Amino acid sequence: MMDWSDRHCRFFHRLLTRRALLYTEMVTTGAILHGDRERLLGFDVSEHPIALQLGGSEPAALAECARIGAAYGYDEINLNVGCPSDRVQEGRFGACLMLEPSLVGDCVAAMKAVVKIPVTVKCRIGVDEQEPEQALFAFTDTVKAAGTEALIVHARKAWLKGLSPRENREVPPLDYALVHRLKANHPDLPIVINGGIASIEQAQAEQGNLDGVMMGRAAYQEPWRLLSVDPLLFGEAAPFANVKDALLALVPYIETEMSKGVRLSSITRHVLGLFRAVPGARAFRRHLSVEAVKPGATSQVLVDALALVPETSAEIAA
Protein backbone atom coordinates (compact mmCIF):
# COMPACT_ATOMS: atom_id res chain seq x y z
CA MET A 1 0.00 0.00 0.00
CA MET A 2 2.96 2.31 -0.47
CA ASP A 3 1.79 5.67 -1.88
CA TRP A 4 -1.80 4.62 -1.15
CA SER A 5 -2.69 4.49 2.52
CA ASP A 6 -1.25 7.85 3.56
CA ARG A 7 -2.83 9.95 6.29
CA HIS A 8 -5.36 11.58 3.94
CA CYS A 9 -6.53 8.19 2.72
CA ARG A 10 -6.82 6.88 6.27
CA PHE A 11 -8.82 9.89 7.45
CA PHE A 12 -11.24 9.32 4.60
CA HIS A 13 -11.50 5.58 5.28
CA ARG A 14 -12.19 6.26 8.95
CA LEU A 15 -15.26 8.22 7.88
CA LEU A 16 -16.56 4.97 6.36
CA THR A 17 -15.85 2.62 9.27
CA ARG A 18 -15.30 3.31 12.96
CA ARG A 19 -14.11 -0.19 13.80
CA ALA A 20 -11.67 -1.42 11.13
CA LEU A 21 -7.99 -1.35 12.09
CA LEU A 22 -6.17 0.94 9.67
CA TYR A 23 -2.55 0.47 8.59
CA THR A 24 -0.04 3.03 7.43
CA GLU A 25 1.99 2.64 4.29
CA MET A 26 5.12 0.61 4.91
CA VAL A 27 7.70 3.06 6.25
CA THR A 28 11.37 2.05 6.26
CA THR A 29 13.53 2.35 9.33
CA GLY A 30 15.97 4.55 7.45
CA ALA A 31 13.25 7.02 6.54
CA ILE A 32 12.09 7.31 10.13
CA LEU A 33 15.56 7.58 11.63
CA HIS A 34 16.85 10.11 9.12
CA GLY A 35 13.79 11.70 7.52
CA ASP A 36 10.90 14.02 8.34
CA ARG A 37 9.19 12.09 11.12
CA GLU A 38 6.18 14.32 11.39
CA ARG A 39 5.45 13.96 7.69
CA LEU A 40 6.01 10.21 7.81
CA LEU A 41 4.32 9.39 11.11
CA GLY A 42 1.90 12.19 11.90
CA PHE A 43 -1.78 11.22 11.91
CA ASP A 44 -5.14 12.56 13.02
CA VAL A 45 -6.47 11.27 16.33
CA SER A 46 -9.65 10.16 14.57
CA GLU A 47 -7.66 7.47 12.73
CA HIS A 48 -7.47 5.22 15.82
CA PRO A 49 -7.19 2.27 15.90
CA ILE A 50 -4.14 2.50 13.65
CA ALA A 51 -1.05 0.35 13.12
CA LEU A 52 2.36 1.56 11.96
CA GLN A 53 3.84 -0.80 9.38
CA LEU A 54 7.62 -0.89 9.33
CA GLY A 55 10.09 -2.15 6.76
CA GLY A 56 13.55 -3.15 7.93
CA SER A 57 15.78 -6.00 9.00
CA GLU A 58 18.08 -4.57 11.65
CA PRO A 59 16.75 -5.38 15.14
CA ALA A 60 18.22 -2.27 16.78
CA ALA A 61 16.88 0.08 14.10
CA LEU A 62 13.44 -1.54 14.20
CA ALA A 63 13.39 -1.32 17.98
CA GLU A 64 14.14 2.40 17.85
CA CYS A 65 11.47 2.96 15.19
CA ALA A 66 8.94 0.96 17.21
CA ARG A 67 9.72 3.11 20.23
CA ILE A 68 9.24 6.26 18.14
CA GLY A 69 5.98 4.91 16.72
CA ALA A 70 4.64 4.09 20.16
CA ALA A 71 5.52 7.60 21.33
CA TYR A 72 3.52 9.00 18.40
CA GLY A 73 0.51 7.10 19.70
CA TYR A 74 0.16 4.17 17.29
CA ASP A 75 -1.87 1.23 18.54
CA GLU A 76 0.26 -1.49 16.94
CA ILE A 77 3.64 -1.95 15.28
CA ASN A 78 3.61 -4.28 12.26
CA LEU A 79 6.69 -5.66 10.52
CA ASN A 80 6.23 -6.15 6.78
CA VAL A 81 7.67 -9.48 5.61
CA GLY A 82 5.48 -9.64 2.53
CA CYS A 83 6.41 -6.90 0.05
CA PRO A 84 8.23 -8.39 -2.99
CA SER A 85 9.49 -5.30 -4.82
CA ASP A 86 13.08 -5.12 -6.07
CA ARG A 87 13.69 -1.94 -4.10
CA VAL A 88 12.57 -3.66 -0.91
CA GLN A 89 14.73 -6.72 -1.61
CA GLU A 90 17.77 -4.54 -2.16
CA GLY A 91 17.21 -3.10 1.29
CA ARG A 92 16.96 -6.64 2.74
CA PHE A 93 13.43 -6.34 4.01
CA GLY A 94 9.97 -7.33 2.92
CA ALA A 95 9.25 -10.80 1.51
CA CYS A 96 12.90 -11.82 1.19
CA LEU A 97 12.96 -12.07 5.00
CA MET A 98 10.79 -15.18 4.70
CA LEU A 99 14.13 -16.83 3.93
CA GLU A 100 15.55 -15.62 7.27
CA PRO A 101 12.97 -16.48 9.95
CA SER A 102 15.50 -16.37 12.78
CA LEU A 103 16.37 -12.77 11.86
CA VAL A 104 12.67 -11.87 11.81
CA GLY A 105 12.37 -13.43 15.25
CA ASP A 106 15.25 -11.28 16.48
CA CYS A 107 13.54 -8.20 15.04
CA VAL A 108 10.25 -9.01 16.76
CA ALA A 109 11.96 -9.65 20.08
CA ALA A 110 13.90 -6.39 19.86
CA MET A 111 10.74 -4.37 19.19
CA LYS A 112 8.79 -6.09 21.93
CA ALA A 113 11.53 -5.28 24.41
CA VAL A 114 10.95 -1.53 24.02
CA VAL A 115 7.19 -1.11 23.50
CA LYS A 116 4.06 -2.13 25.36
CA ILE A 117 1.74 -2.01 22.34
CA PRO A 118 1.29 -5.15 20.19
CA VAL A 119 4.02 -6.13 17.73
CA THR A 120 2.72 -8.10 14.75
CA VAL A 121 4.10 -9.55 11.50
CA LYS A 122 2.68 -9.57 7.97
CA CYS A 123 4.07 -12.30 5.72
CA ARG A 124 3.52 -14.48 2.64
CA ILE A 125 3.00 -18.25 2.65
CA GLY A 126 6.50 -18.60 1.21
CA VAL A 127 8.85 -17.29 -1.45
CA ASP A 128 10.36 -18.73 -4.61
CA GLU A 129 10.97 -22.48 -4.36
CA GLN A 130 9.93 -22.82 -0.72
CA GLU A 131 7.28 -25.43 0.00
CA PRO A 132 4.55 -23.19 1.45
CA GLU A 133 3.25 -25.37 4.26
CA GLN A 134 6.72 -26.19 5.53
CA ALA A 135 8.00 -22.62 5.17
CA LEU A 136 4.96 -20.91 6.66
CA PHE A 137 4.64 -23.27 9.64
CA ALA A 138 8.35 -22.99 10.47
CA PHE A 139 8.25 -19.22 10.08
CA THR A 140 5.22 -19.02 12.36
CA ASP A 141 6.89 -21.12 15.04
CA THR A 142 9.85 -18.75 15.05
CA VAL A 143 8.00 -15.44 15.21
CA LYS A 144 5.54 -16.83 17.73
CA ALA A 145 8.41 -17.86 19.99
CA ALA A 146 9.80 -14.33 19.63
CA GLY A 147 6.51 -12.94 20.94
CA THR A 148 4.53 -11.66 17.98
CA GLU A 149 0.96 -10.90 19.03
CA ALA A 150 -0.55 -11.68 15.63
CA LEU A 151 0.34 -12.91 12.15
CA ILE A 152 -1.24 -11.45 9.01
CA VAL A 153 -0.80 -13.91 6.14
CA HIS A 154 -1.04 -12.94 2.49
CA ALA A 155 -2.14 -16.33 1.17
CA ARG A 156 0.13 -16.27 -1.89
CA LYS A 157 3.74 -17.09 -2.50
CA ALA A 158 6.01 -14.24 -3.53
CA TRP A 159 8.30 -14.81 -6.48
CA LEU A 160 11.27 -12.55 -5.85
CA LYS A 161 12.59 -12.90 -9.39
CA GLY A 162 10.54 -13.01 -12.55
CA LEU A 163 7.36 -11.32 -11.31
CA SER A 164 6.66 -7.64 -10.74
CA PRO A 165 5.07 -6.48 -7.47
CA ARG A 166 1.75 -6.20 -9.29
CA GLU A 167 2.06 -9.72 -10.70
CA ASN A 168 2.96 -10.97 -7.23
CA ARG A 169 -0.44 -9.73 -6.07
CA GLU A 170 -2.29 -11.58 -8.82
CA VAL A 171 -0.35 -14.44 -10.45
CA PRO A 172 0.66 -16.83 -7.64
CA PRO A 173 -2.41 -18.86 -6.67
CA LEU A 174 -4.19 -18.15 -3.41
CA ASP A 175 -4.19 -20.86 -0.76
CA TYR A 176 -6.72 -19.81 1.86
CA ALA A 177 -6.98 -23.40 3.13
CA LEU A 178 -3.33 -23.31 4.18
CA VAL A 179 -3.96 -20.26 6.35
CA HIS A 180 -6.90 -22.01 7.99
CA ARG A 181 -4.71 -25.04 8.69
CA LEU A 182 -2.13 -22.75 10.23
CA LYS A 183 -4.76 -21.35 12.57
CA ALA A 184 -5.88 -24.85 13.54
CA ASN A 185 -2.25 -25.58 14.42
CA HIS A 186 -1.95 -22.35 16.44
CA PRO A 187 -5.34 -21.73 18.06
CA ASP A 188 -3.79 -19.37 20.61
CA LEU A 189 -2.15 -17.08 18.03
CA PRO A 190 -4.33 -14.44 16.34
CA ILE A 191 -4.10 -15.04 12.60
CA VAL A 192 -5.50 -12.70 9.94
CA ILE A 193 -5.92 -13.64 6.28
CA ASN A 194 -5.04 -11.34 3.39
CA GLY A 195 -4.91 -11.51 -0.40
CA GLY A 196 -7.64 -11.36 -3.03
CA ILE A 197 -10.46 -10.43 -0.66
CA ALA A 198 -12.70 -8.41 -2.94
CA SER A 199 -15.72 -7.58 -0.76
CA ILE A 200 -16.89 -7.35 2.83
CA GLU A 201 -19.24 -10.24 2.15
CA GLN A 202 -16.30 -12.38 1.01
CA ALA A 203 -14.35 -11.32 4.10
CA GLN A 204 -17.27 -12.38 6.26
CA ALA A 205 -17.47 -15.76 4.54
CA GLU A 206 -13.72 -16.40 4.49
CA GLN A 207 -12.96 -15.53 8.10
CA GLY A 208 -14.12 -18.88 9.46
CA ASN A 209 -11.85 -19.90 12.34
CA LEU A 210 -9.51 -16.97 11.74
CA ASP A 211 -9.25 -13.81 13.81
CA GLY A 212 -9.61 -11.24 11.08
CA VAL A 213 -9.42 -10.35 7.40
CA MET A 214 -7.21 -7.69 5.86
CA MET A 215 -8.29 -5.88 2.71
CA GLY A 216 -5.93 -3.79 0.63
CA ARG A 217 -6.63 -3.04 -3.02
CA ALA A 218 -10.39 -3.56 -2.80
CA ALA A 219 -10.65 -1.16 0.13
CA TYR A 220 -8.65 1.47 -1.72
CA GLN A 221 -10.00 1.08 -5.24
CA GLU A 222 -13.62 0.68 -4.14
CA PRO A 223 -13.80 2.45 -0.78
CA TRP A 224 -17.59 2.45 -0.80
CA ARG A 225 -17.33 -1.15 0.37
CA LEU A 226 -16.03 0.02 3.74
CA LEU A 227 -19.38 1.52 4.65
CA SER A 228 -20.69 -2.01 5.27
CA VAL A 229 -17.83 -3.06 7.57
CA ASP A 230 -19.41 -1.95 10.83
CA PRO A 231 -22.91 -3.36 10.11
CA LEU A 232 -21.77 -6.70 8.65
CA LEU A 233 -18.71 -7.49 10.74
CA PHE A 234 -19.35 -5.70 14.03
CA GLY A 235 -23.13 -5.49 14.23
CA GLU A 236 -23.04 -1.71 14.56
CA ALA A 237 -24.55 1.13 12.55
CA ALA A 238 -22.44 2.60 9.76
CA PRO A 239 -21.03 6.08 10.44
CA PHE A 240 -23.14 7.56 7.64
CA ALA A 241 -26.31 6.57 5.82
CA ASN A 242 -24.57 6.65 2.42
CA VAL A 243 -21.24 7.42 0.82
CA LYS A 244 -22.30 10.87 -0.32
CA ASP A 245 -22.87 11.98 3.26
CA ALA A 246 -19.53 10.47 4.25
CA LEU A 247 -17.72 12.36 1.51
CA LEU A 248 -19.35 15.66 2.49
CA ALA A 249 -17.92 15.08 5.96
CA LEU A 250 -14.46 15.17 4.36
CA VAL A 251 -14.87 18.82 3.31
CA PRO A 252 -13.86 20.40 6.67
CA TYR A 253 -10.76 18.21 6.74
CA ILE A 254 -9.85 19.29 3.20
CA GLU A 255 -10.20 22.95 4.13
CA THR A 256 -8.03 22.53 7.23
CA GLU A 257 -5.33 20.66 5.32
CA MET A 258 -5.34 23.13 2.44
CA SER A 259 -4.82 25.95 4.94
CA LYS A 260 -1.57 24.16 5.80
CA GLY A 261 -0.45 24.08 2.18
CA VAL A 262 -1.73 20.63 1.15
CA ARG A 263 -2.87 20.40 -2.47
CA LEU A 264 -6.49 19.41 -3.05
CA SER A 265 -5.52 16.58 -5.38
CA SER A 266 -3.36 15.00 -2.66
CA ILE A 267 -6.59 14.27 -0.80
CA THR A 268 -9.14 13.79 -3.57
CA ARG A 269 -7.01 11.20 -5.38
CA HIS A 270 -8.07 8.77 -2.66
CA VAL A 271 -11.82 9.13 -3.31
CA LEU A 272 -11.92 8.51 -7.07
CA GLY A 273 -13.29 4.99 -6.63
CA LEU A 274 -16.09 5.98 -4.26
CA PHE A 275 -18.74 5.58 -6.93
CA ARG A 276 -18.65 2.76 -9.45
CA ALA A 277 -21.10 1.50 -12.04
CA VAL A 278 -23.81 3.95 -10.97
CA PRO A 279 -25.19 7.01 -12.80
CA GLY A 280 -22.79 9.93 -12.43
CA ALA A 281 -19.76 7.86 -11.39
CA ARG A 282 -17.74 8.61 -14.50
CA ALA A 283 -18.59 12.32 -14.39
CA PHE A 284 -17.59 12.40 -10.71
CA ARG A 285 -14.18 10.89 -11.45
CA ARG A 286 -13.58 13.05 -14.51
CA HIS A 287 -14.46 16.27 -12.69
CA LEU A 288 -12.10 15.51 -9.81
CA SER A 289 -9.30 14.31 -12.08
CA VAL A 290 -9.42 17.48 -14.16
CA GLU A 291 -10.35 20.19 -11.68
CA ALA A 292 -8.62 19.14 -8.45
CA VAL A 293 -5.14 19.50 -9.94
CA LYS A 294 -5.67 23.07 -11.13
CA PRO A 295 -3.99 25.94 -9.27
CA GLY A 296 -6.39 27.54 -6.84
CA ALA A 297 -8.68 24.50 -6.63
CA THR A 298 -10.71 24.43 -3.41
CA SER A 299 -13.04 22.03 -1.61
CA GLN A 300 -15.83 23.35 -3.83
CA VAL A 301 -14.42 21.10 -6.56
CA LEU A 302 -15.41 18.09 -4.47
CA VAL A 303 -18.85 19.51 -3.73
CA ASP A 304 -19.40 20.15 -7.42
CA ALA A 305 -18.25 16.60 -8.28
CA LEU A 306 -20.73 15.19 -5.78
CA ALA A 307 -23.53 17.16 -7.41
CA LEU A 308 -22.94 15.11 -10.56
CA VAL A 309 -23.98 11.93 -8.72
CA PRO A 310 -27.76 11.61 -8.24
CA GLU A 311 -29.02 10.86 -4.73
CA THR A 312 -30.27 7.48 -5.89
CA SER A 313 -26.75 6.59 -7.03
CA ALA A 314 -25.37 7.45 -3.61
CA GLU A 315 -27.90 5.13 -2.03
CA ILE A 316 -27.00 2.31 -4.44
CA ALA A 317 -23.29 2.78 -3.73
CA ALA A 318 -23.95 2.45 -0.02
The tens place of each residue's pLDDT in the chain, 318 residues long, gives: 667 899 999 999 999 999 999 999 999 999 999 999 999 999 999 999 999 999 999 999 999 999 999 999 999 999 999 887 666 555 677 888 999 999 999 999 999 999 999 999 999 999 988 999 999 999 999 999 999 999 999 999 988 876 666 676 666 789 999 999 999 999 999 999 999 999 999 999 999 999 999 999 899 999 999 999 999 999 999 999 999 999 999 999 999 999 999 999 999 999 999 998 889 999 999 999 999 999 999 999 999 999 999 875 555 444
Catalytic residue among 83, 96, 107, 123: 83
Residue 139 CB coordination number (10 Å): 28
- The CATH number of the domain holding residue 79 is 3.20.20.70
As beta bridge partners, residue 51 has 23, 76
Q: Give yes or no: 83 in active site.
A: yes
Residue 53 β-bridge partners: 26, 78
In whole angstroms, give the CA distance from residue 306 to residue 309.
5
pLDDT at 4 (0 to 100): 80
- 190 and 223 belong to one structural domain: yes
Same domain? 192 vs 289: no
177/52 same-domain check: yes
Amino acid identity, position 91: G
Q: Quick one: pLDDT at residue 91? A: 60
How remote is the C-alpha of 63 from its chain's centroid?
21
Sign for the CA dihedral angle at 240, 243, 244, 248 comes to positive
CA distance 30 to 55: 9
- Give the pairing of strands 76-81 and 212-214: unpaired
Tell me: do 188 and 84 sit in the same domain.
yes
- DSSP type of residue 249: T
Same domain, residue pair 158 and 221: yes
Predicted confidence at residue 318, as pLDDT, reads 45
pLDDT at 93 (0 to 100): 73
Domain count within the chain = 2
Q: Could you tell me if 213 and 311 lie in one domain?
A: no
Q: String of b and e for 62-90 (b: at least 16 CB within 10 Å)?
A: bbbbbebbbebebbbbbbbbbbbbeebbe
Q: Indicate if the alpha-carbon torsion angle 58, 64, 67, 68 is positive or negative.
A: negative
Residue 32, CA distances (Å) to 56, 209, 258 in order: 11, 36, 25
Whole-number pLDDT of residue 311: 72
Examine the fold and report which residue of 198, 227, 256 is the final residue of a domain before the chain moves on. Answer: 227
Q: Record the pTM.
A: 0.92
Which residue range forms the structural domain that includes residue 256? 243-317
Are 210 and 262 contained in the same domain? no
pLDDT of residue 71: 98
